[in-house]
Every structure is written in structure tokens, then in C-alpha cells.
Chains A and B, each alone.
Chain A
Amino acid sequence: MRSYAARRAVNVVMLSVTAFCAAAALFSLFFVLGYIAWRGLGALSWAFLTRLPKPAGEAGGGIANSIVDSAKLVALAGAIGIPVGVLGGVYLAEFGGGRLGALVRFCADVLNGVPSIVVGLFAYALIVVPMKGFSGLAGSVALAVIMIPIVLRNTEEFVRLVPHALREAGLALGVPRWKVVLRIVIPSAARGIVTGSLLALSRAAGETAPLIFTAFGNRYWDSGFLQPMAALPLTIYTYAISPYDDLHRQAWAAAAVLMIFVLAINATTRLALRTQAMEAR
């Protein structure tokens, strides 16, 4: 047994190391947020938010089409991905006890770990090449594939949190199993499911890699989902690697816009989750 002083010393050292690491994690978050705010907010203007891009090398122009198209892409991705994720999650939590359930869970976890650029290539091979053209549809499918495992695992967790007593109460009154799930379990977990879906949407909104070879980018208002569409992360990527100072400035401003959107979604979900946790108590 080492002396008390030695143990105390180790304690102090380890405590400072963990505190330092926690501070470093916090610092990088605030550094990123602060830096984007510093570089980006100053470049924001009404014209920037409401105009179309100018040709490369000319000052001015905006990202109106990127903002609208990003919203459209993510909305369609949600329309495809959320139902699949939610229903899959309900299946896993309520009926997926067997080997099939374990397999689905495993696949969802693997899918969650697949690099997003690979998902983009999947959508490229599945939709872009056969349809002979880049399209917003392909971009949305790629984003949906990224959302599915997140929504699925989230839904499963929240459905599991619904107390067994609730289910038993329903069943004891002679309510069929499907009705118990549909009318009691899902509504009880609804808030959690919604927040999980919103988190998945915010993750999809920030993805660049799956859109490069699918949604492709567009310099104008889009002509529907079967044609290329712009997206905020894509615009940021294109502008950031361009040789123009003005486009670099616009990239920072676009990053600030994207960050505000994603933060707003995240903050809403955290708030909703906290109220639910309080109610549950």
C-alpha cells in the first residue's frame, strides 16, 4: 500500500488530466462556434440571404437557392427516412426479440458507421447512373440512408423507455397488441421519437460528402427533384476551395447560416427532451 500522500498526488494528477480533457473538448466546440460566428456573421446581409450566386470572381451574390434547396433536400430525405426509421425502431423494441431483430440492429449499427461519402456513391450508382443525370432525388435518398439508422436506434430506445405497466394495462382491458402499440406505446414515446428524428434531420442538413455526386449543386433555382439541386454544405465546400477572397467570405457566412439552423434544431430537441424527462419523473 502506497502512502496517503502518494495516493493523493495521483488523485490530483488524474483529476487535473480529466479536467483538462473536458476543458479541451469544450474549448474546441466554443472555438469552432466562435470562429465561424466571428468570420461569418459579419458577412451576413439581407442580399446575401435572398440573391442567387454571381459568376465566380465577381463580388456580391447570395445563397438563397442553397438555403431553399437544402430545406427541400432534407425535407424529402426526412419523408423517406423517418417513416422507415420509426417503424423499424418500433418493430425492434416491440417485436424484435428474436434473431431477426438482432440482425436488423447489427445492420443498423453498421450502416450508421458507413462513411457518408460511401452512401453518396451508393446513391450515385443506384439513381444517378441509371437515370442519366444528377438529381435532388438522388441527394435526398443518400441523406435518407444516413438518417435511417439514427432514427431507428433512437426510436427503439424511446419505445423501450415506455413503462411495461402501460402496455399491461391496455392488454388487460382486452385491447389487441397492435392497438396497444399504435395507441398507447407510440404516443407515449412520441416526443422522444420526434426529437430523435429532428436530430437526424440536423445531421443530414450538415452532410456534404453524400451530395457531391448526387445533388451535384446548382447555381440557379432548381427545376424540381429530377434536376441538380444546391445545398448549403455543398456551396460552402465549393466556395471554400475556390481562389476568390469574396467566395471565401461567402463560405464563412454560409457556414454561419448552416450552423444557426443546426444549432436551432439541436437546441429545440434538447429542450423538448428535458421537459419530457421532467414529466416522466
Chain B
Amino acid sequence: MKRIAILSTLLFAAPAFAGAIVLNGAGSTFGYPIYTKWADQYHAAHPDVQINYQGIGSGGGIRQITEKTIDFGATDGPMTDAQLAKGPGKLVHIPTVLGATVPILNVPGVKSLRFTGPLLADIYLGKVAKWNDPEIAKVNPGVKLPDAPITVIHRADGSGTTYSFVDYLSKVSPQWKTKVGVGTSVDWPVGLGGKGSDGVTGLVKQNANSIGYVELIYALQNKIDYAAVKNKAGRYVKGGLASVTAAAAAARMPKDYRVSITDAPGARAYPISTYTWLLVYADNPTPQGKALKQFLLWMLGAGQKDAAALGYAPLPANVRAMVKKTVEQLR
């Protein structure tokens, strides 16, 4: 009997952190690196708060916050009105950082290609099917392109990366808009599907003459060549801190923060840029809700400094001020 008592104490006793507040969050894999970084830093500064973030994909984040099984969700594609209506309370989008979706390439012997938006749409529609197609050659003068079919790679699962990519294609290609449309997952006319950003990266790495799209950090971490894309002002721009910030500066932020900044005007703006959001309930009078509010305020201040080192762009100053007001109104 005594042994059982000892065993059960061992099993059920909460270790040293008894009384600590645990905030559980889940969603976007794009935000995973910075959210875990923030969790670590915030825990170091506030040892009584643990933030447990799991990257299960934007779709999963939306689903679980709607079910209230987590304290906050995270997504790179804003929730639709229909999704918001399903929630048991009022959900608020809190922008955290910005990122870029970049076309990644694996074409032997070819480096640093350039694309226009309509050209990317035509490739993903299957209309441009060979690397030496005149359309590609036209925007890449002087580059020796192989006479090889293009292997198109896309995400197989619901993803915020897909959302920003097809949102952009819809803006620049009328045919994409009518034939395929926008969503976290769409009916792809051509191509192979990979699970998660890592799956897409892997498929592109393994298949010569392939093209895919991932968040910038995946291209950087895996040292894969990524292409420049022509923006609205007619310049070829690569995804990066400055070009994403420029895209954000050009956009007008609506009150509910559900904004698309793809195909932004501005000479230096990268055209496939996106905000990424945390999803929280406006009314959450629990200890968790209060701790979450404090964390969000910290994130808008000290936390923003961590963004650049991880390949994200911090929020523009005016947006930061606006979001701070919103967070202060959370109850």
C-alpha cells in the first residue's frame, strides 16, 4: 500500500513549478521559431509563466482555439467570417511579425532566377511547363535555361503559406482567380504535394528542375536558392527583412487586422509578404487570460527585437501602437 502511495505521489505531483501559469498555444509552423524563442525569453523574465507552443499548422490553430482547447491560436492566413462566427466568443487577430513566401528552385546550373507574378501563376496553372519557355527566358535575359519539364511542388495540407501565395496569384492573374481561387488549401491544377513547409523543401531538394514555395526562413535554413519576384512598381525584389517591411508600410491596416499585403505598391516592396497572427479571445477573465495579455504587451515591446535575427520583419511602429491599444482592451 505504501509503495502505491509513493508511486502515485511521484506520478501526480507537479514538479517545482507548482502554481505556475501555463499558457498553451498552437498553430502556424511559420511562427514556430519566433514563438518558442519568445516563450523562452518570457519565461526567463517571468519564471511563473510557461508558454507551451506547438506548431500544428494554421488550420489546426484555428480549429483548436475555436474549440477552446488552447489559450491562443496562431495562423498566417486570417480567419474567414464564417470561421469567426463558429467560435464560442469574440476572437481577435493580434499581428505579431511579418514574413515572406519565396519561390524556391532546384534547377541544375541555374541560379537567382527572376519571375513575374503572372508567370508564377502560369507555371502553377501548368501553362508554362518547360524551363526554356520563352516566357521565362524573356524575364531572365542571358540565363541559359535547360530544356527540361518543370516539376511543380505545392503544399498538400492546409497552410497559411499557401494562403499568401495563392492570394498573390489571384491578384495578378485573372485566370488563377477564376480557375483556382484563394484558400489555405486549393485544387491545384498541376504538381506534387508535400506535407508542411519541410515536405515542400524536401521535395524541391530531391527533384531536379523543380519549383516550390515556402516561408523565407525555410529557404534560408536549408540553403536553397530562392527567386526574385517582380513587384507592382515593376522592380524585381527578393524576399527579406527590408522588402517585407516596405510591403507592410504600403498597406492600410484595418481595425480587425485581417489584412492582405500581397502585391503591395512601393518600389522596394516584396509582393508575397504576409502578416502572421495570434488568435485570442476578447473576453478571457481567467488567470491565463490575464497572463496572456501581459505576454502580448511584452511581445509588442521587447519581443519585437528578436524578429530580425530569425528572418522575420518586426511590426511597423504605427501598427504596433494600434495593436497595443487592442491588447489593452482585452479582458
Contact residue among A128, A212, A244 (Cβ-Cβ distance under 8 Å from B69) = A128
B5 close to A (CB within 8 Å)? no
A163 close to B (CB within 8 Å)? no
Q: Bits for A108-137, please: 1 = Cβ < 8 Å to B, else 0.
A: 000000000000000000001100111000
Within 8 A of A (CB), among B280-308: none
Task: Give chain A's interface residue range (CB within 8 Å of chain B).
Answer: 20 to 34
Within 8 A of B (CB), among A208-265: 212, 216-225, 227-228, 238, 241-245
A55 close to B (CB within 8 Å)? yes
CB A195 to nearest CB in B, in angstroms, measures 21
CB closest chain-A residue, reference B199: A241
Q: Which residues of B contact A72 (CB under 8 A)?
A: 11
Within 8 A of A (CB), among B189-243: 195-199, 201, 217-218, 221-222
CB closest chain-B residue, reference A133: B69
Contact A55 B70 (CB under 8 A): no
Contact B15 A222 (CB under 8 A): yes
B20 close to A (CB within 8 Å)? yes
A75 close to B (CB within 8 Å)? yes
* Selected interface stretch from B33-41, B115-123, B252-260: B33-41
A183 close to B (CB within 8 Å)? no
Which of B24, B67, B69, B222 has the most C-beta atoms of chain A within 10 angstroms of its own C-beta? B69
Q: Complex: how many Å from CA A280 to CA B13?
A: 43
Contact A223 B197 (CB under 8 A): no
Q: Which residues of A contact B55 (CB under 8 A)?
A: 238, 242
CB closest chain-B residue, reference A128: B69
CB closest chain-B residue, reference A212: B56
Q: Which residues of A contact B17 (CB under 8 A)?
A: 220-221, 223
Q: Which residues of B contact A34 (CB under 8 A)?
A: none
* Selected interface stretch from B46-54, B76-84, B178-186: B46-54
Q: Which residues of A contact B18 (CB under 8 A)?
A: 223
CB B48 to nearest CB in A, in angstroms, measures 11
CB B142 to nearest CB in A, in angstroms, measures 32
Contact residue among A57, A79, A128, A228 (Cβ-Cβ distance under 8 Å from B52) = A228
| Given contact pairs A217-B52, A223-B50, a sample of 10 additional A-B residue pairs in the complex whose CB atoms are under 8 Å apart | A55-B37, A133-B24, A134-B70, A212-B56, A218-B52, A221-B15, A227-B22, A241-B199, A243-B217, A244-B221
24 interchain pairs (CB within 8 A)?
Answer: A55-B37, A57-B310, A75-B7, A129-B67, A129-B69, A212-B56, A216-B52, A217-B52, A219-B52, A221-B16, A222-B14, A223-B17, A223-B18, A223-B22, A224-B12, A225-B11, A227-B24, A228-B22, A238-B55, A243-B197, A243-B198, A243-B217, A243-B218, A243-B222
